[in-house]
């Protein structure tokens, strides 16, 4: 079956403007143009649009989606299996949060007693699973399963006070790193203060510290586009600056 832009938009629940944009950036081209110049989409384009929308639902950016679905090695069936796996993981996360809310309601109504640890367990598990989905493969390859598993166990055992302190340190690090970046000196005093904050923040999640591991993480911030995008969100070049500051702090050569 074939569809015009309007009909495909209605079928998929997206705007015709979105479909035209997908055509412009080359992520979803129509199969052909009608004699009147209208875009016409066939079964292959419908299947590709479904894949695009699955990836969008999972938070993948359009450039990355284009790279994935345009690859000569792209396997649509395998991609669907991976979508299913990730959606099941998301459902499990939501089920845990719902259970946590139910427990909180029961406590508020006097039907049960809930420990402070229980109140935040769902959020911590969600954080672990999100980190595993985004960075788990790379981090486990770099540091090993044992290190990552022990870090996850430490996070699960974190008190709310410790979690609040880690959050505060992350916010302070963002401010201090921006100040240090303005100096342009990754070996300067402000940069050193920023790395000290980074180290203190890491120790809320790491079970032990080593300069080598710290330096390795700094390099990953630049080598991995996801980390780089996070640190460069406000000011491009911040990821490289933080890496250089960490290397200067640890005394490890680039």
Inter-residue contact 55 to 68 (CB < 8 Å): yes
pLDDT tens, 208-248?
A: 899 998 999 999 899 888 788 888 888 899 999 999 999 99
**pLDDT number for residue 134:** 67
**pLDDT number for residue 88:** 81
| Weakest-pLDDT range from 76-90, 110-124, 207-221 | 110-124
User: Which tokens is 247 given?
Assistant: 């290397």
Q: CA torsion 65→66→68→70, rounded to 10°? A: 150
Average pLDDT over residues 25-29: 94
**pLDDT number for residue 245:** 96
Vertex 79: Cα angle to 74 and 80 (nearest 5):
140
**pLDDT number for residue 16:** 93
Average pLDDT over residues 20-25: 94
Residue with the bigger pLDDT between 112 and 75: it is 75
pLDDT for residue 135 is more than 70: no
Q: How far apart are CA 233 and CA 236, in angstroms?
A: 7
**pLDDT number for residue 90:** 75
pLDDT for residue 108 is more than 90: no
pLDDT for residue 120 is more than 60: no
Cβ-in-10-Å burial (0-12, 13-18, 19+) of 44 comes to exposed
Residue with the bigger pLDDT between 79 and 154: it is 79
> pLDDT band for position 98 (50/70/90)?
confident
pTM of this structure: 0.48
Q: How far apart are CA 19 and CA 27, in angstroms?
A: 10
pLDDT tens, 45-70?
A: 999 999 999 888 887 888 889 989 98
């Amino acid at each position: 079956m074939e569809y015009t832009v309007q009909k495909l938009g209605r079928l998929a629940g997206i705007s015709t403007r979105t479909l035209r944009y997908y055509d412009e950036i080359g992520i979803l081209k129509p199969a052909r143009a009608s004699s009147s110049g209208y875009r016409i989409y066939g079964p292959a384009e419908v299947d590709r649009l479904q894949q695009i929308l699955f990836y969008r639902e999972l938070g993948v950016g359009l450039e990355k989606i284009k790279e994935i679905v345009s690859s000569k090695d792209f396997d649509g069936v395998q991609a669907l299996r991976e979508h299913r796996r990730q959606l099941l993981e998301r459902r499990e996360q939501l089920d845990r949060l719902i259970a946590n809310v139910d427990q909180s309601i029961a406590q508020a109504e006097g039907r049960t007693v809930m420990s402070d640890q229980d109140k935040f367990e769902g959020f911590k598990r969600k954080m672990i699973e999100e980190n595993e989905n985004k960075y788990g493969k790379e981090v486990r390859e770099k540091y090993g399963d044992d290190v990552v598993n022990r870090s996850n166990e430490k996070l699960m055992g974190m008190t709310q006070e410790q979690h609040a302190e880690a959050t505060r340190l992350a916010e302070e690090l963002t401010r201090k790193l921006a100040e240090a970046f303005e100096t342009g000196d990754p070996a300067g005093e402000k940069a050193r203060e920023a790395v000290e904050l980074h180290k203190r923040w890491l120790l809320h999640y790491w079970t032990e510290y080593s300069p080598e591991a710290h330096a390795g993480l700094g390099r990953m911030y630049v080598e991995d586009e996801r980390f780089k995008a996070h640190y460069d969100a406000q000011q491009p070049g911040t990821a490289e600056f933080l890496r250089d500051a960490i290397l200067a702090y640890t005394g490890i050569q680039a």
